[in-house]
Amino acid sequence: MTTLVTGGTGFLGRHLVRQLVDRGEDVRVLARRFDLELADLGVELIEGTLDSSEDIRRAVEGATRIYHLAGRVERDPSRAHVMYDLHVEGTRRLIDVAREAGVEKIVYASTSGTVGVSRNPNFVAEDDSPTVESVVKEWPYYLSKIYAERVVDRFVQDYGMNIVTMRPTLLLGPGDKNESSTGDVARFLRGKTPASMPGGISFVDARDAATAFILAMDKAAAGERYLIGACNITLDDFFKRLSHLSGVRAPWLPVPEDAMVMGSKLWGRAMRAVGLTPSLDAASVDMARHFWYIDSSRAIEELGWTPRAANATLKDTITWLRAHFPELDRSDSSHRASPPADAVSSDVVEYARSLRER
């Protein structure tokens, strides 16, 4: 019995592949290029892309189960077509080939951002919450994932296919070689997060998310959707936890709501006020104004999934990043001077000082 994994070279994919191999499964990965780490695990590698139906057919041939994790994050609205082609059309091609080949079951990786985003700090998304197109309309990654979920639903409804949709939230933990998901933690360790933001996040350990996917393959019914997250916290609490675990000082400058609304230019001004170079794009600033809270109780109850403690994940994330990116372990990173008086206008400096003294 062969299990196909798309996106097996990614952060979540590598954890999933390793767990499948440890279970004794015969694993095949569709990847754009040869990957030595996966080859050393004994994984069969098929070089190809979701752009090609022929590549997909080669990968699907003989497979009885598929984990569809392939994806790419783009926050630039001008790149929306890239997200649509991969997440929507790529998913459509894969499932169509899988249907023709008689694949038994597919577990599809979506994101909690299809339902779990709000300006309301009291909102917590559940598995049956409606999608949030009006909220994510300027964020091509999340919008394309909503459309991809509809493709999945259509195959379930029209053809009776056995597909389960998993919606993990922000993935943290060890092993993110490209900082594709742990970039906010790396940015914090580099001292490039000087300001507290008004939103809230949810996160989960990538190792635990991989386990949830396997449990869904083993137990979940066709058409089910599961939100996968371990912790809902404000960004302020998130940075304080990182500070406690890393020794890096937490940001002290809160950015007022009206400043956030004015966009990335004023955000850059606030960063320069504490002597740092702006490193966040406008979309990231906008996302930080929202709350990404979700309820994963159904995955826990129905699948028997148990995520580890949130701080254990944060600690392992910090430890792994510092071990693999030595520049993140600077002994002086916890010491930041107050903003120089001539960095910005006096009114901004005085406002920052007044917030710090409250």
Structure tokens at 204: 């989960």
DSSP state for residue 354 in the 8-state scheme: H
Residue 249 near residue 243, CB atoms below 8 Å: yes
pLDDT value of position 339: 41
Instruction: State the helix-helix crossing angle for 140-159 and 90-101, rounded to 10 degrees.
Output: 20
Of residues 268 and 76, more confidently modeled:
76
Break the chain into its structural domains and give their ranges. Answer: 2-172+204-231+293-307
pLDDT value of position 94: 98
Structure tokens at 51: 């752009």
Reduce the DSSP state of residue 243 to 3 states and report it: helix
- Among 288, 293, 283, 275, residue whose Cα is nearest residue 340: 275
pLDDT value of position 293: 98
- Choice among 8-12, 32-36, 325-329 with the minimum mean pLDDT: 325-329
pLDDT value of position 279: 55
181-196 average pLDDT score: 86
* Strand ranges inside the chain, DSSP E: 2-6, 26-31, 44-47, 63-68, 105-109, 163-168, 170-172, 195-196, 200-205, 225-228, 231-234, 253-254
- Among 169, 204, 212, residue whose Cα is nearest residue 302: 212
Reduce the DSSP state of residue 206 to 3 states and report it: helix
* Helix ranges, 163-232 (H): 183-189, 206-219
Quick one: 2-172+204-231+293-307 is in which CATH superfamily?
NAD(P)-binding Rossmann-like Domain (3.40.50.720)
pLDDT value of position 133: 96
pLDDT value of position 235: 93
pLDDT value of position 76: 74
